[in-house]
Every structure is written in structure tokens, then in C-alpha cells.
Amino acid sequence: ESGITRPKGYNVSFHCNPEMEKHHFGVTHPMKPWRLTLSKSLIYSYGMSFAMNNYVSRAATYEELADFHSTDYLDFLGTVLPEPVPRDVENQNPDLRFNLGGSDCPLFEGLYDYCSMSAGSALDAARKICANQSDIAIAWGGGLHHAKKAEASGFCYINDIVIAILELLRHYPRVLYIDIDVHHGDGVEEAFFSTDRVMTVSFHKYDPNNFFPGTGALDDNGPKNEQNPGAHHAVNVPLNDGITDEQYDMLFNTIISRIVEKFRPSAIALQCGADSLAGDRLGRFNLQVQGHGACVEFCKRMNLPLILFGGGGYTPRNVARAWTYETSIAIGCQDKISDVLPQHTPWRDQFRQETLFPTLEQILGEPRQNKNPPKRLQDIVNHVSEQLRFVQA
């Protein structure tokens, strides 16, 4: 008996499509859709599905994808075939259209289905929110924040977040987009660059020459032309290696509460990329499951309609831990779930430690050096506060 019950009048919906998880970017590619299977199996093992409305989401239609993407791009995406032999990417192959077919965004079997399922789950989540049928809607298969209108980028082909936010904008005057993936949320920022109805905030590792995508400096805050309504509506929090839970939560809480105060969003879209966790194959931070989850908890406390998206996350066992803990926060049972993983959890041996909250030492052996001096964090808070003086609801 898990003791997990559904709080009266509080609705959480969970949107996924098991077909999505069967797709493969290639054996050694860091993006593993299977992490969604592992996450779900842990969520179900804890008994959380009984406290949510669970939906198998449909695939988004061509028309729905075309809400954001160009038809040229979608037509190509729908017809390209997987490459039988990997091509030399650096060799400026003229066939590399729309940035498709390189090593970051390979062509694989069922690519179009995979993309439309990810977008379908995000769109279903947005529609449940708009219909007032969910207070929090979860789409761990979404969160692919790098995709552009007519270009694939950084493991992302279709920008499900942009498509979901466009749906929210049909019902809500203002949407706050928050991105805690270790990478800059460039595709979402760019899509809403020229509007004051969406404020985008990304926390990320920033090193223009050595870390993807290289954008998202502190003073990249939207169009430089003051006449453009989007001016000041992009917030960027560039960080360095090794940031800790304590520092991250201080930044997150300070910055998000000030933004909510000034911008007065009517809904929040939170991208929960789990590559900001310690021990991630591509990440550089020292965040633990608790600190990552604290961001979700903080957003929930804002008492606004909330969508949780997935995103990056390249060490599947840690992705599953974070998204399980965050699902428990959404339904409000985080204080009741046991630190020891349920005995009957499928693939339990995949988790190495048998706990939901392994210590930094267990995850890393030796923690990554923290290169975020307190002075720098204060400068960031000051810059954002200054920026917000130009923002009004």
C-alpha cells in the first residue's frame, strides 16, 4: 500500500506515448528515448499513476506542426529516409538540408513519427490546461527546445514547446517559459523573440566557444530596438561548471519570484531537462535530484496553470529519478515517497544505488569543481532586476 491519494480538486495529467520510446538515434548517440520507459516504470512502481489522469497521447497532425514549422521543412522531414551508411558530416555534404542527417540530428527509422508523438504529448498537455481540466500537465517526452522553424538542432527536430505555448496563447494573455536544461533554450527564445506575451528564462552552462549552443549571454535580452514589444522579454542566466543545489535554488527563487511579480504570467511552461543533474553524460553541474525538483516545487507554489516538459538528460537512471521526484511534487506526495526504490521496480539494477536521492559522492565519486563565485551570482541577480524595470504586465 503506497498511501498515495489524490488531493480533492487538484488535477494532474500525465501524457505519454509508449511508441515514442521505441525509437533509436543510434546505439552510441547520447539521446536515448528509452530513458522515458525507465522514468515511467519508476513512476508507476511508486504507485503514482493512481493520483493522476493518465493519457496515451496521439501524434500531432501535420497542420499542428505547421503552426510553428515551415511546410518545406515538414515535407522534407516526412520524406527523408534513414541513411544506410553514416556520412562524413564535417565534409560539407550538400545533402545536409535543414541540418538533418549529421551526428547530432541523425536520420533514423520512424523519425517523423517520433517527432509528431513528442509534439502530440506536449499539445495534449496544453489542451488539458486550456480546458481547465488539469492544474498541472506532464509531458516528459517533450521539451525539445533547440528545434527552429525550418531547422533541426541539438537532438531536436520539432519544437513541441513552441507548439504547446502557441496553444496556451489562444487562452491566456501571458505565458512564462522557464528552462532548467543545462543547455540554452535558444529555439523557444527565438520563436517568441518579438512578442511581449511570452517571457523566456533559461538557466544554462554558458561558454560561447566550448558549450552548445553558445548563445544565451546575460545581456541577450531580446530585440535591441525598444520599439519592438519583445524587448527585455528574454532572460538568460549563464552559469559555469559545478553549480550546487543551494546556489541554483537561490538564483531560481529570486529570479522567478521577481519575474512573476512584474510580468504576471497567466500560465507557466517549465522545461525540466535533467542534464543539469550531477553525473550527466553531457552536463557540467552538481545539481541533485532535490535541487532540480525544488524548481518544480517553486513553480507549483505560484498557483498558476503549469506544464512540465522533459528535455535533455543523458544518464538515464538519473533522468528517471528526477522526473519521478518531480511527478511526486506535481501530485503532492513528495514527503510520503520512500527514498528506497520499490523492490518490484523493473530494471532496478539500472539505478546502481537503490535510492531515489543518491549523495553527490555516490553519483560522482569526486564532485566537479564549482566555478560559480558568489559575486558572479549576485551580478546575475542584479542584471535581471535591472532588466525587469523595463517589463510590465
Chain residues that interact with Ca ion, rule: CB under 5 A: 179, 181, 185, 202, 204
Looking at beta carbons only, is 19 or 241 nearer to Ca ion?
241
Spacing of C-alpha 354 from chain mean position: 26
Q: Does 282 bind ligand VJV (CB under 6 A)?
A: yes
Taking the least distance from each CB to ligand VJV, the nearer of 138 and 304 is 138
The alpha-helical segments, DSSP class H, found in the chain are: 34-45, 62-65, 71-79, 111-130, 160-169, 186-191, 245-263, 289-301, 316-331, 360-364, 374-388
Report the alpha-carbon distance of residue 60 to residue 122 in Å, rounded: 9
Tell me which residue has cell 524595470.
389
Find, among 323, 321, 356, 352, the residue nearest to 338 by Cα: 356
**C-alpha span between 273 and 215 (Å, rounded):** 17
List the single partner that 212 binds among ligand VJV, Ca ion, Zn ion, none, CB under 5 to 8 Å by kind. ligand VJV
Residue in the structure block whose three cell numbers are 521496480: 345
Binding-site member from 238, 265, 279, 312 for Zn ion (CB under 5 A): 312
Residue 181 near ligand VJV by CB under 6 A? yes
Q: Quick one: 216 or 312, whose CB is closer to Zn ion? A: 312
- Number of neighbouring beta carbons within 10 Å of residue 58: 15
Least distance from C-beta 271 to Zn ion, angstroms? 9
Q: Choose which of 142, 216, 230, 273 interacts with Zn ion (CB under 5 A).
A: 273
Q: Which of 32, 128, 183, 321 binds ligand VJV (CB under 6 A)?
A: 183
Q: Percent helix, strand, coil in the chain (nearest 5)?
A: 40, 10, 50
Q: Contact, 320 vs 38, CB < 8 A?
A: yes
How far apart, in whole angstroms, are the C-alpha atoms of residue 164 and residue 124?
Answer: 8
Binding mask 307-346 vs ligand VJV (x if CB under 6 A, - otherwise)? Answer: ----xx----------------------------------
- Is 146 one of the annotated active-site residues of the chain? yes
Q: Which of 15, 69, 145, 146 is catalytic?
A: 146
Of 213 and 223, nearer to ligand VJV (C-beta) is 213
Which parts of this chain interact with ligand VJV (CB under 6 A)? 26, 28-30, 103-104, 144-146, 154-156, 181, 183, 212, 273, 275, 282, 311-312
Catalytic sites, residue numbers: 146
Which parts of this chain interact with Zn ion (CB under 5 A)? 181, 183, 273, 275, 312
